[in-house]
Amino acid sequence: MLARIQSSLLQGIDALPCEVEVDLDESGIEKATVVGLPDAGVKEALERVRSALGNSGYLFPVGRVLINLAPADVRKEGPVYDLPIAVGLLVTCGVVTTVRPVPSGAAVKVKDVSRLTVGALRHGLGAPQHEEGNQVEATSTAPEAEPLDLRRWLIAGELALDGRLRPIKGAIAMAALAKSLDAIGIILPADNAAEAAVVEGVEVLGARTLAEVVGLLRGEIEPRPQPPPDVSGLLKAAAAPVDFSEIRGQEAVKRAVVIAAAGSHNILMLGPAGTGKTMMAKALPGVLPPMTPEEAIEVTRIYSAAGQLPPGQGLVTVRPVRSPHHTASAAAVVGGGIVPKPGEISLAHRGVLFLDELPEFPRNVLETLRQPLEDHVVTVARSHSAVRFPASFMLVAAMNPTPKGDMPAGEVGRRAMDQYLSRLSGPLLDRIDIHVEAPAVPFRQLSAAPTGSSTAQMREQVLAARARQAQRQGAGTPNSRLSGKQLDRFAAMEEPARALLGQAMSGLGLSARAYDKLRRVARTIADLEGSEGIKVAHVSEAVQYRLLDRRV
């Protein structure tokens, strides 16, 4: 007997259709095989399914079992196919069908009692009344709901050995796939239900055990779809973990952070250890505009595909802050693997990528950031496929002036600082819009009551500037994304400001990319002041934020 179960496979952050075909030949030699480019995790599913069926009251079929995962030319990985394989096996045994169960009191003929146990009968066929050979007459209880049509439901889940369902990756992408295929809904572990319910127009049935899934499919359990969450309400209630009012001093750096947040500019903070650079990076999401529902769903898809969404959490509501260690590999930061997975830059999508101790990162890792910083996507190519991951993030970097972490003194210290800074390439620094110094905070400011800018005050400035940008150049295009042609149109300068910019270009030896960076930052400073044109003061402040160009 042949059974077909609809499921999905994860490629990047998108789900593709996958049909799980289970063929049972009762006359063949007892053997179970999985084909269709399965990895080791998929091949091991047979042993998990065997134990889960037995501990749930069912027996693994006797005979030759062939399981095909189609399409066969795409690699399958992970334990996501445990549940559809188990359901397919139960269909071949006749335990699960797509027809209405018999009315109460009717006799049910089971072809071969060796395929079922008393526990299996208890799950829907009732207690055996009369046994003659391999025929069992049973009485069924009246179902409370219609059986589910397996052709219009997608199923996925990892099975524990006792039949419990464990969470999977990519549940939200699976729900989006079901919607695109015009399926009724999906059946998956209960821990993934809140996540999948974010996709509107798809019924999401969460189950905790294999027996519960069987009950749903047979119509013995009333389906109760997971209610969709209030996405807008969750986003409004989200709050940043750190408030800028907790950071003493550093008002000049806070000003630079406001500019960076207002225009979505990359920023580098240079200063000795213990000056609050890490705290400011963690507080930055509170200054940025709240995520839109579309952005939140997009970020949630990435975290779900990477397996980093906590069980039961349906939505990422706060802009992410990722802080990889400087020993992280290029694949961990950018993404990669035999089956490509999103890296730290994609996990920071719509949020902040914080690189602390920037010069300590390997040179090859830093250089891989150059293309994503410009294109806001990263492509991971393999011999069998190429996967694109979104990577629209704000780069926030921090570094000490010397390997010791202190400010240099004297000529020897200056040479040590220059040598340390030489670990950073000019092309990388060109892609960082703002360089700002974070000096040591004196004891007087540390011990005094906090009087500096708070997150609420800074956010108000940022939102006002973003509103001006949206009105001028359209929503979704911050100043950092303006092309050269758009800068000529939207970043008109007064003649004195243009002359000052020319002097800075020649005096600092800046590149054409740095020229556009300066114009974008000056445009953002003008937006913060509500100025239509760019004035000398705006250019002057923007030039001050290129302090490392003369050293590298």
CA 40 – CA 38 distance, rounded (Å): 7
pLDDT the model gives residue 550: 54
What H or E segment, with its residue span, contains residue 70? strand 64-70
Does residue 142 register a pLDDT over 60?
A: no
Exposed / middle / buried, residue 545 (Cβ in 10 Å: 0-12, 13-18, 19+): buried
Kindly state the tokens that stand for 65: 């079992």
CATH 3.30.230.10-classified regions of the chain: 2-101+143-218
Does residue 429 register a pLDDT over 60?
A: yes
Q: Render pLDDT for 317-348 as a digit per residue (tens, 0 to 9).
A: 989 999 999 999 999 999 987 778 899 999 99
pLDDT the model gives residue 149: 87
Return the top range by mean pLDDT from 25-29, 231-235, 292-296.
292-296
Average the pLDDT over 474-480 and give the result. Answer: 90
Strands 267-270 and 352-356: unpaired
In three-state secondary structure terms, 352 is strand
Q: Render pLDDT for 505-539 as a digit per residue (tens, 0 to 9).
A: 888 888 888 899 999 999 999 999 999 999 999 99
Amino acid identity for residue 362 in this structure: P
Q: Looking at per-residue confidence, does 176 or 74 come out higher?
A: 176
In three-state secondary structure terms, 543 is helix
Strands 158-159 and 165-166: antiparallel
Kindly state the tokens that stand for 528: 């913060």
Find the helix packing angle between 82-93 and 210-218, rounded to 10°.
Answer: 50
pLDDT the model gives residue 144: 56
CA 393 – CA 280 distance, rounded (Å): 16
Tell me if 154 sits within 8 A of 172, measured CB to CB. Answer: no
Does residue 128 register a pLDDT over 50?
A: no
Query: Which of the four pLDDT bands, split at 50, 70 and 90, describes residue 249?
Result: confident
pLDDT the model gives residue 168: 95
Q: Render 114-131 in DSSP notation, one character per residue.
A: GGB-HHHIIIII-SEEEE
Tell me if 420 sits within 8 A of 402, measured CB to CB. Answer: yes
Class of domain 482-552: mainly alpha
Query: Which region among 136-145, 250-259, 420-429, 477-486 has the lowest average model confidence (pLDDT)?
Result: 136-145
Separation in Å, CA 198 to CA 40, 142, 153, 158, 316: 31, 34, 17, 21, 11
Nearest residue to 458 (alpha-carbon basis) of 270, 247, 315? 247
Q: Please provide residue 546's backbone torsions phi and psi, each rounded to the nearest 5 degrees.
A: -120, 40
Positions of E strands within 431-500: 434-437
pLDDT the model gives residue 240: 73
Query: Which region among 70-79, 201-210, 233-242, 472-481 has the lowest average model confidence (pLDDT)?
Result: 233-242
CA 431 – CA 433 distance, rounded (Å): 6
Q: Please provide residue 159's backbone torsions phi and psi, each rounded to the nearest 5 degrees.
A: -105, 135
Does residue 124 register a pLDDT over 60?
A: no
Does residue 419 register a pLDDT over 80?
A: yes
Nearest residue to 318 (alpha-carbon basis) of 280, 353, 288, 279? 288
Exposed / middle / buried, residue 536 (Cβ in 10 Å: 0-12, 13-18, 19+): middle
CATH superfamily label, 236-453+462-472: P-loop containing nucleotide triphosphate hydrolases (3.40.50.300)
Average the pLDDT over 50-79 and give the result. Answer: 93
pLDDT the model gives residue 98: 52
Q: Which residues contact 17 (CB under 8 A, 6 or more apart)?
A: 6, 8, 9, 177, 181
Q: Please provide residue 461's backbone torsions phi and psi, each rounded to the nearest 5 degrees.
A: -65, -40
Amino acid identity for residue 510 in this structure: L
Q: Which residues contact 308 (CB under 8 A, 6 or more apart)?
A: 347
CATH 3.40.50.300-classified regions of the chain: 236-453+462-472
Sign of CA dihedral 299, 301, 305, 311: positive
Q: Render pLDDT for 299-321 as a digit per residue (tens, 0 to 9).
A: 999 999 999 988 778 899 989 99
Does residue 433 register a pLDDT over 50?
A: yes
Average the pLDDT over 101-129 and give the result. Answer: 37
Query: Which of the four pLDDT bands, split at 50, 70 and 90, describes residue 113?
Result: very low
Average the pLDDT over 238-249 and give the result. Answer: 81
Kindly state the tokens that stand for 416: 């040590």
CATH 1.10.8-classified regions of the chain: 482-552
Q: Looking at per-residue confidence, does 407 or 165 come out higher?
A: 165
Tell me, rounded to whole angstroms, the distance of Cα 416 from its chain centroid: 40
Taking the alpha carbons at both ends of the chain, their separation in whole angstroms is 70
Residue written as tokens 């044109």? 533
Q: Looking at per-residue confidence, does 65 or 550 come out higher?
A: 65
Q: Render pLDDT for 372-405 as a digit per residue (tens, 0 to 9).
A: 998 999 988 876 678 899 999 999 999 988 887 7
pLDDT the model gives residue 191: 94
Does residue 262 register a pLDDT over 70?
A: yes
Which CATH number among 1.10.287.1080, 3.30.420.40, 2.60.40.3140, 3.30.230.10 corresponds to the domain 2-101+143-218?
Answer: 3.30.230.10
Average the pLDDT over 425-453 and give the result. Answer: 83
CA 335 – CA 342 distance, rounded (Å): 5
Q: Render 3-18 in DSSP notation, one character per residue.
A: EEEEEEEEETTEEEEE
